[in-house]
Amino acid sequence: MHTLIMVNIQELSPSVVVCYYDLSKSYQNFVFYYLAIINILFSSIMIILCSLSFKNVRHIRIVPRQQRNQVRSMTKKDFQLLRCLFALVIVTIIFRIGINIFYAYSAITREQIRTQLHQDIDTFLNNFLSLFFNLSYSVSFIVFVVISKAFRCELKQMVYKMFGRDQIPMREEENGTVNTIVVSNVIVPT
């Protein structure tokens, strides 16, 4: 949004005109702080929502057995999905924290005179941390494959189905349906 506000038409030569963002240091500092604040807010919201989901799971586990038929209980797949969510939040925050620190560092040290080596190090760090930041968008597949057995089994079935091979049947407990047998001793007066 801010790039639509702070753009200027710059004339490079009499026949070449470019619409480019403002090169002032105050605007660049604003962009760095803005990106850092947005990333910190995004990470905080992810932590809050993940902790609320764990709180809800704890509430489900605390419910006495007699009332579990009234409250929807979680299956094995649900717990695996929740573990994947938690791991995904941690990985995303780890991948995003480096670029936030770099943006704050760049905004603070922008006024200092830099040598060519210092500029090269800053460029390398910016590119490397930007790569990590962008990897956070595609790491979910890896997290799900590593953590969730149900996801791996379904992925394997999908691959077998794509290549026309026989599917491997899944056990019922991996499928999310668990057979439970309820035994009750009821004494009926005669």
Six-digit token string for 11: 């004339």
DSSP summary character for residue 93: H
Average pLDDT over residues 9-24: 76
Question: Are 143 and 87 a contacting pair, CB within 8 Å?
Answer: yes
pTM over 0.75: no
**pLDDT at 57 > cutoff 50:** yes
Domain residue spans in the chain? 26-162
Reported as a single tens digit per residue, the pLDDT across 66-118 is 665 655 666 777 778 888 888 888 888 888 888 888 888 887 887 788 899 99
Contacts of 168 (CB under 8 A, 6+ apart): 153, 156, 157, 160
> What is the C-alpha to C-alpha distance for residues 79 and 85, in angstroms, rounded to an integer?
10
Question: Are 86 and 147 a contacting pair, CB within 8 Å?
Answer: no
Check residue 69 and give its pLDDT. 60
Question: Are 113 and 70 a contacting pair, CB within 8 Å?
Answer: no
Contacts of 182 (CB under 8 A, 6+ apart): none
Reported as a single tens digit per residue, the pLDDT across 120-158 is 999 999 999 999 888 888 888 888 888 888 888 888 888
Instruction: Report the chain's mean pLDDT, rounded to a whole number.
Output: 76
Residue type, 116: Q
> Which run of H or E residues covers position 21?
strand 16-21
